[in-house]
Structure 1
Amino acid sequence: MRVSDQAIVLQAIKHGDKKFILKLYTRGHGMITVSTHVSNGVKSKIKPASVLPLSLMDVELIVKENKEIHQLTEASCYYVSSQISNSIAKLSIAQFLNEILIKTLKEQSANTHVYEFIETCLKFLNDTDNCINLHLYFLSEFTRYLGFEPQNNFTSNTPYFDCREGRFSSVGLTMPLGLNKEDSLLFSEFLKINSLKSGITNVQRQTLLEILLAYYKLHVPGFNEVKSLEVLREVVSG
């Protein structure tokens, strides 16, 4: 079946001179794997620039029923992220977001809200100079779509965050199962604000990143080491 859709490139694996296997998250079909031929030739309908990770593309697909790999026949970027590659900070955040998406969207079905959230974050990363907290905002907000959004029920009687339950509790647990009182308060304050615009210190930024990744590891099966993490830490710490 031939269909038109929009897609975000998550992964591109080269097979031979011109053939690629792509992992796409699409607006209308969710997570799919496609094969395609990529070339800079005049007649080519898919150029190398169109299949770079996190490219936002208009695509023409041949979706094959009961098949694991479908066919991508045409692709063109509907939004060009020209500013990301010009900034080490933006590039490191983009690589981190890309890795998080690969780890969490393994068999995700179509969800327009998920697609639009990712699309909005990528456009913000490209268009906005002050994107130093985008990775924290993304990790926090994305839990809503993945089904384990933390509840901010912090009180003097429930001052400890329980990572297992996703809510604050009267009982303190050690990482990665829970947070101490100081980190719990920091996490509660973080959940109240728009982290894209708030004044978070470098130390707080690193602590929040550790908290959110520990939380993901408890709730996403197979969520293992994030390879892009060390570079991200160096860049966002200034």
Structure 2
Amino acid sequence: MVYDTPLIVLASTKVGDKSLVLHTLSPGWGRRSFITGTGKGAAMAMFLPLSLLDCEVVENPKSDLWRARSLSVSEPLAGIRGNVRKNTMCLFMSEVLYRTIKDGALEDGLFEWCRGSILTLDALQADFSNYHLRFLLEFAGALGFSPTLEDLAPFAGEHYAVVRDLVQADAAESLLIPMTGAQRNAVASLLLDYIGFHTESQLNVRSLHVLREIFS
């Protein structure tokens, strides 16, 4: 069987000289990996974290690792790819998704929410330094445990006031909350702790230190 599907690239693993395993999110399979052939140069750009693709998936009755072929970019994300700070944020967001969502997990509406979050970041022209914090809050909600201030209080510590402002603000207002780099980093860490607690996983998000450097 051959299926047409959109994909969000979470990460990729090189296999030999001419193949990649794509770790993806899709509306029909949730978190799933596919193998695909690779080109050179510009063609490799489509496999960057959080790339939005369309492709054909070829079922393999002898393996759970199906093949993705005829891949094309559905959204160029020019607003992200041309911006170092957005690219760094994108790397962080994709790693959070990759480390949190388990293989085979299919959460209703998660693909659509992720796609919308990526396109929102792509479209923002300014004031996006807090966007990853809003992303983490909404991601928790998409997983089924929307955080309240009471839920976050045990994780907030000395940053309670900033967390309160973030939780009580709407999406647009949350991007305008003034924070120092240290506050922003601390809130990102505590939100990761909160998500890790609810998903019973240790979220060692390595790209967080890169984000700290860029937005410090």
Residue 167 of structure 1: CA displacement?
6.0
Pairing 1:204–2:183 present: yes
Q: Which has the larger radius of gyration?
A: 1
Judge which range, 104-113 or 205-214, deviates more.
Answer: 104-113
Q: Quote the Cα distance in structure 2 between the aligned partners of 1:138 and 1:73.
A: 30
Query: What is the match of residue 112 of structure 2?
Result: 116
| Aligned partners of 2:8 and 2:25 also within 8 Å | yes
Query: What is the match of residue 174 of structure 1?
Result: none
Pairing 1:77–2:73 present: yes
Residue from 183, 190, 198 that aligns with 2:166: 190
State the percentage of identical aligned residues: 27
Distance 1:200 1:25, change over 3 A: same
Residue from 40, 58, 66 that aligns with 1:62: 58
Where has structure 1 moved over 6 Å in runs of 4 or more? none
Residue from 180, 199, 208 that aligns with 1:229: 208
| Aligned partners of 2:152 and 2:194 also within 8 Å | no
Matched pairs, number: 212
**SS of residue matched to 1:83:** helix
Residue 219 of structure 1: CA displacement?
2.0
Gap regions ≥5 residues in structure 1 = 153-160, 169-176
Pairing 1:148–2:148 present: no
Gap regions ≥5 residues in structure 2 = none
| Aligned partners of 2:29 and 2:104 also within 8 Å | no
Taking CA–CA contacts closer than 8 Å with sequence separation of 6 or more, which of the two structures ends up with the larger relative contact order? 2
**SS of residue matched to 1:106:** coil
| Aligned partners of 2:193 and 2:203 also within 8 Å | no
Residue 207 of structure 1: CA displacement?
3.1
Query: So what's the TM-score if we normalise by structure 1?
Result: 0.79
By percentage of residues, which structure has more helix? 2
| Aligned partners of 2:80 and 2:121 also within 8 Å | yes
Give CA-to-partner distance per residue, 1:135-169, whole Å, 9 cap, x none: 000000110121222223xxxxxxxx4xxxx365x
Query: So what's the TM-score if we normalise by structure 2?
Result: 0.86
